[in-house]
Amino acid sequence: MNIKLQENFRTRLPIIIYQRNGIFYYQLQINIVSEDGIYEDTYHEFYKFTSGSSAEEIGTNTKEVMKRFQLLGDLSVEESQSLTGQILSDYRQNKGKGYLEFMNAKSPKEIKEKYNQCIIAYDVKNEEYMFRLSWTYKEGSKILYDCSESTGEEDVLIFEKPLNFKSDVEVKHLGEMVMEAFDRGQRMAEKMSGNYYQTKNIELLDETVLEITTPSDDHFVDYEDNGMSEVYQLYSYITKKSDQASAYFALTVAPEIYVDLSTDTIYSDWISAYGEADEITVTQKEYGIFKFRAQMKNKKVYRIAYFAQCQDDLILECCMEIPNPEKKKKLVESLPILFEQFVFRCKRKMI
């Protein structure tokens, strides 16, 4: 790598990753350095990926941006002028133009407050990359911004495993670390804002360990496995007006699917198990650790579920179920949003 900055400056911040509404934005940052090794400015390139939410796709995209950093390293003033076609003073004036349009944002404030963000740093001496966490949180009427190492902060939250890697990292593992960095930043924001919900570990029958986050609504009661062998975790939604559950979130061994996982299998087995549907959709796509999503509604039940194939031919199902949905229209409207958040925070625990 082409290193020009003075030796005592051993850390670079080459990549900032933003995420919103399924779109990933990458900001590449390259130091511009004078002949005597003094920092002059930062050269930027921007990349946008509108598809690809699996760990492997995210890792592949991230590694492509990393390769660009490894190719450029530090730039001399002359090299920067060759890249930009502008002298340095003109580049300073013009480099922010078009940035908000590229980010689909109205203001820098919107980017700070509405976009998930994480940072990738690089240690020149150890030739090692390190994630840094970034988050925005509310303190009274103020909205504040903070960042930390990937292990968090002692007076807020501590995460055991640092998110460090070398340039030869496997793309899937890199993608998992990007998602983990976003999730840790979100947890830091929740903790600082007073909206933090505990995580817990669940061991599946194939000995995989999942980390899940308690649903962010105090109406949910944790029944753990409810004493049933096919249930890993059950949360029941119970209001003050009734001691009966109005809805459920559950992680289970999929009880109604007994053959290979496919859209046709889910469709036919759900119709068999829950009756003819007023509406039903089944799609195959990566959703975090899950590979399929199904949704159906009839007079008896409103159901959304995500599925993943595990070892030993076991199928993991994460589902939301609202019995008698016609009588619970407010829940039908509000709970799916909460459930989607619950699903995407289910993850294999990083060892």
What is the DSSP secondary-structure string of 227-282?
Answer: T-TTEEEEEEE--TT-SS-SEEEEEEE-TT--S---HHHHHHHHHHHH---SEEEE
Residues 233 and 189 in one domain: no
Neighbours of 288 (CB within 10 A): 18
Residues contacting residue 100 through CB under 8 Å, at least 6 positions apart: 106, 107, 108, 111
pLDDT value of residue 194: 83
Residues 32 and 96 in one domain: yes
Flag whether 338 is in a domain.
Answer: yes
Point out the domain boundary residue: 136, 165, 193.
Answer: 193
Flag whether 169 is in a domain.
Answer: yes
Residues 215 and 186 in one domain: no
Flag whether 5 is in a domain.
Answer: no
Do residues 350 and 179 touch, judged by C-beta distance below 8 A? no
Flag whether 46 is in a domain.
Answer: yes
Residues 335 and 215 in one domain: yes
* Closest of 118, 140, 145 to residue 131, by C-alpha: 118
- pLDDT tens, N- to C-terminus, the chain (351 residues): 888 888 889 999 999 999 998 899 999 999 999 999 999 999 999 999 986 678 899 999 999 999 999 999 999 999 999 999 999 999 999 988 899 999 999 999 999 889 999 999 999 999 999 999 999 988 888 889 999 999 999 889 999 899 999 999 999 999 999 999 999 999 999 899 888 888 899 988 888 899 999 998 889 999 999 888 889 999 999 987 667 899 999 999 876 565 678 899 899 989 988 999 999 999 998 888 899 999 999 999 999 999 988 877 788 999 999 999 999 999 999 999 999 989 988 988 766
Tell me the residue range of the domain where 272 lies: 199-348
Residues contacting residue 291 through CB under 8 Å, at least 6 positions apart: 261, 284, 285, 307, 308, 309
Flag whether 342 is in a domain.
Answer: yes
Residues 293 and 187 in one domain: no
Flag whether 4 is in a domain.
Answer: no
Point out the domain boundary residue: 143, 173, 193.
Answer: 193
Helix axes 55-72, 171-193, angle to 10 degrees: 100
The one-letter code for the residue type at 168 is: D
Residues 217 and 162 in one domain: no
- Distance (Å, whole) CA 345 – CA 258: 26
241 token code pair: 């007006």
Flag whether 6 is in a domain.
Answer: no
pLDDT value of residue 52: 65
318 token code pair: 């994460």
Q: What is the CATH number of the domain that holds 252?
A: 3.40.1000
Flag whether 94 is in a domain.
Answer: yes
Handedness of CA 262, 264, 267, 270 (dihedral sign): negative
Domain count, the chain: 2
Neighbours of 253 (CB within 10 A): 17
pLDDT value of residue 147: 94
φ, ψ of residue 57 to 5 degrees: the values are -70, -45
The length of the chain, given as a count of residues: 351
- Distance (Å, whole) CA 332 – CA 340: 13
pLDDT value of residue 257: 61
235 token code pair: 């949360």
Dihedral (C-alpha) 238, 239, 240, 242: value to the nearest 10 degrees?
Answer: -70
Do residues 15 and 47 touch, judged by C-beta distance below 8 A? no
* Closest of 221, 246, 210, 242 to residue 335, by C-alpha: 246
Residues 39 and 188 in one domain: yes
Residues contacting residue 210 through CB under 8 Å, at least 6 positions apart: 201, 202, 203, 204, 232, 251, 289, 346, 347, 348, 349
Residues 173 and 204 in one domain: no
Do residues 66 and 129 touch, judged by C-beta distance below 8 A? yes
Residues 133 and 55 in one domain: yes
Neighbours of 241 (CB within 10 A): 7
- How many angstroms separate the most distant Cα atoms in the chain? 75
Apex CA 155: angle with CA 145 and CA 198, to 5°? 90
- Distance (Å, whole) CA 319 – CA 315: 13
Q: What is the CATH number of the domain that holds 16?
A: 3.40.1590.10
Per residue in 124-134, is it b (16+ CB within 10 Å) or e — as a string? beeeebbbbbb
Q: Within 13 Å, how many C-alpha atoms sit on residue 4's CB side? A: 22
Residues 15 and 160 in one domain: yes
Residues 134 and 219 in one domain: no
Point out the domain boundary residue: 193, 210, 232.
Answer: 193
Residues 52 and 103 in one domain: yes
247 token code pair: 């809805």
* Closest of 15, 77, 21, 2 to residue 47, by C-alpha: 15
